[in-house]
């Protein structure tokens, strides 16, 4: 028996109109400001949903269900889905899916950057989304900085634009290596599972995409993640500069960690950043406000 047969509303979902019809009926013209590039290929959606390591009775937290393609695929797998959608037109278009899901879909109209995902989805939920690319990085950083750790989410299976996906999984020396790579490696195991051409989406974006899966792990070191976040913002804010310049003011910690201050941030591994951060504690003075992005 599949998960869906055990607990899901699979047969009612099969009676729903095709996604293209949902979009047409709701006048859901893609809004670029909301990062709307829809996935309509049900085989592809089923493949992505199958990547989520679901057990019977698990909840999935989905950001931006749009017309509901991924949502349907997750429900068919027997998941309970909590979905947050900002676009009122999409929320209206999803009403038949909410009905067909028979209590398995909790749809919230709201901004995923502002809602309390943990309170909505509950402990042990999985995150799955074809993310709106304009807010994908701040959402991921928020999930990576979750406290306490292990976090409320058990896995995250997320579509990013390919360039961001490569930054998440990059290693020292890779051109894409940066703050996001260090934060991801500090607390998770992150892998690219699928790469998708732009033509897989409607409308096709200008960039390629990739699905990244992040699985929470014990942190690389017993150091507050906020320290690592601040340190990496500072170090990668001037990534081409030597540490003696970019981490000016923290050179005692760099030296105490046994790191050569003539190295550049882009060559340091996550354990080395953690070692520097560890020597900043428990000074209590704190780092000055961080600069730079991910
Ligand atoms: N999941 C659908 C799919 O795969 O076809 C849609 C994905 S589309 C890339 C991103 C979705 O996120 C859109 O439905 C968009 O309206 C929604 N969205 C954009 N910004 C949002 C926000 N701040 N909070 C919640 N949803 C948002």
Report how far ligand 1's centroid is from the alpha carbon of 87 (Å): 8
- Could you give the C-alpha distances from 21 to 7, 92, 105, in angstroms and in order? 27, 14, 20
151 lines ligand 1 (CB under 6 A): no
Sorting pLDDT into bands at 50, 70 and 90, what band is 11?
confident
d(CA 100, CA 8) in angstroms, rounded, equals 10
User: Could you tell me where the DSSP H helices lie in 211-280?
Assistant: 225-237, 243-246, 251-256, 270-280
**Torsion sign across C-alpha atoms 142, 170, 124, 96:** positive
85 lines ligand 1 (CB under 6 A): yes
Ligand 1, atom 14, lies closest to the CA of: 66
66 lines ligand 1 (CB under 6 A): yes
pLDDT at residue number 1: 42
Domain parsing of the chain, residue ranges: 3-216, 225-284
pLDDT tops 70 at residue 37: yes
Ligand 1, atom 6, lies closest to the CA of: 66
Question: What is 3-216's CATH number, 3.40.50.150, 3.40.50.300, 3.40.50.720, 3.10.105.10?
Answer: 3.40.50.150
Q: Residue 181: CA atoms inside 13 Å, Cβ hemisphere, count? A: 22
Per residue in 135-193, pLDDT (tens digit) is 999 999 999 999 999 999 999 999 999 999 999 999 999 999 999 999 999 999 999 99
Per residue in 263-291, pLDDT (tens digit) is 999 999 999 999 999 998 654 444 444 44
- Could you give the C-alpha distances from 99 to 12, 58, 59, 110, 115, in angstroms and in order? 9, 20, 18, 20, 23
d(CA 70, CA 111) in angstroms, rounded, equals 19
d(CA 232, CA 153) in angstroms, rounded, equals 24
Choose the residue to mutate in 20, 86, 94, 138 for probing ligand 1, maximizing ligand atoms within 8 Å of C-beta.
86
225-284: CATH architecture: Orthogonal Bundle (1.10)
State the pTM of this model.
0.93
Q: Are 174 and 167 in contact (CB under 8 A)?
A: no
């Amino acid at each position: 028996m599949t998960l869906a047969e055990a607990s899901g509303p699979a047969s009612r979902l099969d009676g729903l109109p095709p996604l293209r019809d949902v979009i047409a009926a709701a006048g859901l013209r893609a809004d670029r400001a909301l990062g709307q590039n829809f996935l309509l290929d049900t085989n592809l959606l089923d493949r992505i949903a199958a990547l989520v390591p679901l057990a019977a009775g698990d909840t999935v937290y989905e950001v931006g269900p749009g017309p509901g393609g991924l949502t349907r695929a997750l429900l068919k797998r027997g998941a309970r889905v909590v979905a947050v959608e900002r676009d009122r037109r999409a929320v209206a278009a999803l009403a038949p899916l909410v009905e067909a899901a028979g209590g398995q879909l909790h749809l919230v109209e709201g901004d995923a950057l502002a809602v309390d995902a943990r309170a909505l989805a509950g402990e042990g939920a999985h995150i799955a989304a074809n993310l709106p690319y304009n807010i994908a990085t701040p959402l991921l950083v928020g999930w990576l900085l979750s406290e306490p750790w292990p976090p409320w989410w058990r896995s995250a299976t997320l579509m990013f634009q390919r360039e961001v996906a490569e930054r998440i999984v990059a290693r020292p020396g890779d051109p894409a290596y940066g703050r996001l790579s260090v934060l991801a490696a500090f607390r998770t195991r992150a892998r690219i599972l699928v790469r998708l051409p732009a033509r897989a989406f409607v409308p096709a974006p200008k960039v390629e995409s990739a699905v990244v899966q992040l699985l929470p792990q014990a942190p690389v070191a017993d150091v507050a993640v906020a320290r690592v976040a601040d340190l990496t913002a500072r170090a990668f804010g001037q990534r081409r500069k030597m540490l003696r310049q970019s981490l000016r003011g923290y050179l005692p910690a760099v030296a105490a960690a046994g790191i050569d201050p003539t190295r550049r941030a882009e060559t340091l591994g996550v354990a080395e950043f953690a070692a520097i951060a560890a020597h900043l504690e428990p000074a209590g003075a704190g780092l000055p406000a961080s600069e730079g992005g991910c």
